């Protein structure tokens, strides 16, 4: 949206409140110092709660120290020389062991590398080789996958099992819990002679989602992580009275560190059943409910929703992908609490934006968090755009990573310190960010820029559509055209299990048809956004963090060679 002629357009650059705002929250200088502070302030308070039991801040701190000793025994002491610091991979299971291992590895002076426990063999080889991990702490199912590719990981010297799947111990593979217990009475017991207090040292390695290529290894400093924990805690309105209810499939580092920063209790609930999760949240007096957009959508559609109550709840919070408007409206109406989203990347530790819990705006990611800047630039010219115009999102702030492992860090940011996110969005007049798409997901049809997400939003308003994804399909004449996979709403079509029907209608009773959906979009979108392909499916494949991998869907669709719709 441009200003009227004769007035200057408002620059899209927006800044959060100054860093001084969160001075009272920031801990450190090292990330494990956050836990030391929390254990000193409230030793007996519950830190991590699961269905199996409770771990207090003092317990968590003690076990982290034992873990540091055990890691030092295996990897040797971290003397301060870069070559002495080993990389220890830990699977981000939603389990207290992740918190123990993360803080313990950091306390030992070595470097934790966070890996997704849902990765298959090829993905595990990539992240472990890229990070250079010499030790891996993983659950049994990940260990079994590793066993099949162990010959491709010569640098991986030790594997440690977190948990027992009932199949009995693996010969020569120690249990994480036993290593920690032995560290108490053994020669390695106690706090290792410590790493220094350099806040700019690498605190951990995280990996990008890999939605646009092989996942990149992100190097985060202690200052990155401790500051972003304080930024996020402040944005989420957390304090020592908060109870974080975590209904995610994996443990996100930000949730762990911001909870410890303020001394809040963290309830870990990985089970997917939406109604049971809300009931558990109510039992534990949860105040902040963290989940994926896809799980919140299932909750909003659950027939048990009218019976659910959560009196202590203050907000539903999510990120990663857009939350459907109907989901937001349904949860807001039923529970009467904020339903808010944020924005961030692994490269920014991860949070850069979060919506206002007192006045959340549907589809908005909110304003920049404390100490953070944001602006929108033209994709090709890189000129800063006015508010209301779509372009690439750029951010800067103290949470921005040190760089990518094995890559030239000088090219990560421009001379002004701005990092290009690869996402398309705009900033409204109030300074709120709205994320539209990934640059690599946006495509051109007949030289017009097409946003798949915009078409998806139209499709989701059709009463016969429960879920959908749109991506580009190569076309000899137009360059690319829009291709939709659609999950019909119950009673509006009924595709066979796992089927993709190029004719646009599932077998069985008649339901919503491809032509009907294409016409619906055509009535509401410009010609270049019209659907050329529509296929009805049972479900939309998503990654472990709820994201759609459009590149993979495109390749699979091209291989299927579906029939295009007539007249599009």
Whether the link from the prior residue into 29 is cis, omega within 30° of 0, is: yes
Backbone angles phi, psi at 343, to 5 degrees: -145, 145
For residue 46, being part of any structural domain is answered with: no
* Whether residue 286 is found in the same domain as residue 413: yes
Query: In this predicted structure, what is the pLDDT of residue 196?
Result: 60
Give me the helix-helix angle, 96-108 and 32-41, nearest 10°.
110
Q: 35-72, pLDDT tens digit by residue?
A: 999 999 999 999 999 999 999 999 999 999 999 999 99
Query: In this predicted structure, what is the pLDDT of residue 167?
Result: 66
**CATH code of the domain in which 484 resides:** 3.30.300.30
Backbone angles phi, psi at 386, to 5 degrees: -70, 165
For residue 255, being part of any structural domain is answered with: no
* Whether residue 402 is found in the same domain as residue 449: no
* Whether residue 324 is found in the same domain as residue 385: yes
Range of the domain at 466: 443-560
Whether the link from the prior residue into 350 is cis, omega within 30° of 0, is: yes
**CATH code of the domain in which 296 resides:** 3.40.50.12780
For residue 170, being part of any structural domain is answered with: yes
* Whether residue 203 is found in the same domain as residue 300: no
What CA–CA distance (Å, rounded) separates 72 from 109?
9
For the chain, the domain total comes to 3
How many other C-beta atoms can be found within 10 angstroms of the C-beta atom of residue 151? 7
In the listed set 220, 237, 256, which residue is the last one of a domain according to the structure? 220
What CA–CA distance (Å, rounded) separates 231 from 417?
19
How many other C-beta atoms can be found within 10 angstroms of the C-beta atom of residue 89? 28
* Whether residue 494 is found in the same domain as residue 451: yes
Residues of the chain under the 70 pLDDT cut = 1-8, 166-169, 184-196, 210-213, 447, 491-510, 544, 567-568
In the listed set 422, 438, 454, which residue is the last one of a domain according to the structure? 438
* Whether residue 190 is found in the same domain as residue 335: no
Judge whether 314 and 331 are in contact, CB under 8 Å.
Answer: no
What CA–CA distance (Å, rounded) separates 460 from 453?
10
Angle at 30 between CA 100 and CA 291, to 5 degrees: 50
> Closest Cα partner for 565 from 520, 535, 529, 528?
535
CB-neighbour burial class of residue 534 (10 A; exposed 0-12, middle 13-18, buried 19+): buried
Query: In this predicted structure, what is the pLDDT of residue 479?
Result: 81
In the listed set 195, 220, 245, which residue is the last one of a domain according to the structure? 220
* Whether residue 449 is found in the same domain as residue 370: no
Sequence-distant (≥ 6) Cβ neighbours of residue 258 within 8 angstroms: 229, 230, 232, 233, 236, 238
* Whether residue 397 is found in the same domain as residue 451: no
Q: What is the pTM of this model?
A: 0.83
**CATH code of the domain in which 178 resides:** 3.40.50.980
For residue 108, being part of any structural domain is answered with: yes
What CA–CA distance (Å, rounded) separates 488 from 468?
9
For residue 225, being part of any structural domain is answered with: no
Query: In this predicted structure, what is the pLDDT of residue 436?
Result: 86
For residue 7, being part of any structural domain is answered with: no
DSSP state of 407: S
Query: In this predicted structure, what is the pLDDT of residue 412?
Result: 82
* Whether residue 410 is found in the same domain as residue 372: yes
* Whether residue 418 is found in the same domain as residue 276: yes
Q: 489-525, pLDDT tens digit by residue?
A: 876 543 322 334 444 444 334 479 999 999 999 999 8
Query: In this predicted structure, what is the pLDDT of residue 494?
Result: 38
Query: In this predicted structure, what is the pLDDT of residue 150?
Result: 95
* Whether residue 212 is found in the same domain as residue 325: no
For residue 187, being part of any structural domain is answered with: yes
CB-neighbour burial class of residue 420 (10 A; exposed 0-12, middle 13-18, buried 19+): middle
Query: In this predicted structure, what is the pLDDT of residue 495?
Result: 37
For residue 246, being part of any structural domain is answered with: no
* Whether residue 339 is found in the same domain as residue 422: yes
């Amino acid at each position: 949206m441009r200003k009227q002629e004769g007035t200057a357009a408002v620059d899209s650059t927006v800044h959060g409140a100054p860093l001084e705002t969160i001075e009272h929250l920031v801990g450190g200088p090292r990330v494990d110092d956050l836990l030391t502070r929390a254990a000193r302030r409230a030793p007996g308070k519950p830190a991590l709660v699961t269905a199996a039991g409770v771990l207090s801040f003092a317990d968590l701190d003690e076990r982290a120290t034992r873990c540091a000793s055990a890691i030092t025994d295996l990897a040797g002491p971290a003397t301060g020389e870069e070559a002495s610091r080993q990389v220890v991979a830990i699977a981000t299971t939603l389990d207290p062991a992740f918190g123990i291992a993360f803080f313990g590895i950091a306390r030992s002076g070595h470097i934790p590398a966070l890996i997704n426990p849902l990765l298959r063999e090829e993905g595990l080889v990539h992240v472990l080789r890229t990070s250079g991990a010499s030790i891996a702490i993983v659950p049994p199912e990940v260990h079994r996958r590793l066993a099949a590719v162990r010959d491709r990981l010569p640098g991986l010297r030790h594997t440690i099992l977190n948990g027992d799947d009932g199949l009995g111990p693996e010969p020569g593979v120690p249990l994480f819990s036993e290593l920690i217990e032995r560290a108490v009475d053994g020669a390695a017991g106690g706090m290792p002679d410590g790493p220094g207090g350099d806040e700019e040292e690498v605190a951990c390695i995280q990996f990008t989602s890999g939605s646009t290529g092989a996942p990149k290894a992100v190097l985060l400093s202690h200052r990155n992580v401790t500051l972003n924990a304080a930024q996020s805690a402040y944005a989420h309105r957390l304090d020592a009275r908060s109870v974080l209810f975590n209904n995610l499939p994996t443990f996100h580092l930000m949730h762990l560190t911001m909870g410890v920063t303020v001394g809040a209790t963290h309830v870990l609930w990985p089970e997917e059943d939406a109604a049971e999760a809300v009931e558990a949240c109510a039992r534990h007096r949860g105040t902040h409910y963290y989940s994926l957009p896809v799980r919140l959508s299932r909750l909003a559609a659950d027939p048990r929703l009218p019976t659910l109550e959560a009196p202590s709840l203050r907000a539903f919070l999510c990120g990663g992908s857009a939350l459907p408007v109907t989901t937001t409206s349904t949860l807001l109406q039923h529970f009467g609490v904020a339903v808010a989203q944020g924005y961030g990347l692994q490269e920014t530790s991860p949070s850069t934006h979060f919506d206002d819990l007192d006045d959340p705006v549907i589809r908005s990611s909110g304003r920049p968090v404390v100490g953070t800047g944001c602006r929108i630039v033209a994709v090709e010219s890189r000129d800063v755009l006015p508010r209301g115009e779509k372009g690439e999102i750029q951010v800067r702030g103290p949470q921005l990573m040190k760089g990518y492992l094995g890559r030239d860090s000088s090219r990560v940011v421009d001379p002004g310190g701005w990092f290009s996110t690869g996402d398309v969005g705009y900033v409204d007049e109030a300074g709120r960010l709205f994320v539209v798409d990934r640059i690599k997901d946006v495509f051109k049809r007949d030289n017009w820029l097409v946003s798949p997400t915009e078409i998806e939003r139209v499709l989701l308003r059709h009463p016969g559509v429960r879920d959908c994804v749109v991506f580009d399909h190569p076309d000899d004449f137009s360059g690319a055209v829009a291709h939709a996979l659609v999950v019909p709403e119950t009673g509006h079509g009924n595709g066979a299990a796992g089927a993709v029907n190029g004719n646009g209608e599932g077998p069985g009773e008649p339901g919503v048809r491809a032509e009907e959906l294409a016409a619906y979009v055509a009535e509401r979108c410009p010609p270049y956004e019209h659907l050329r392909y529509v296929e009805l499916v049972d479900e939309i494949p998503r990654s472990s963090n709820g994201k759609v991998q459009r590149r993979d869907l495109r390749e699979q669709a091209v291989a299927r060679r579906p029939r295009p719709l007539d007249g599009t």
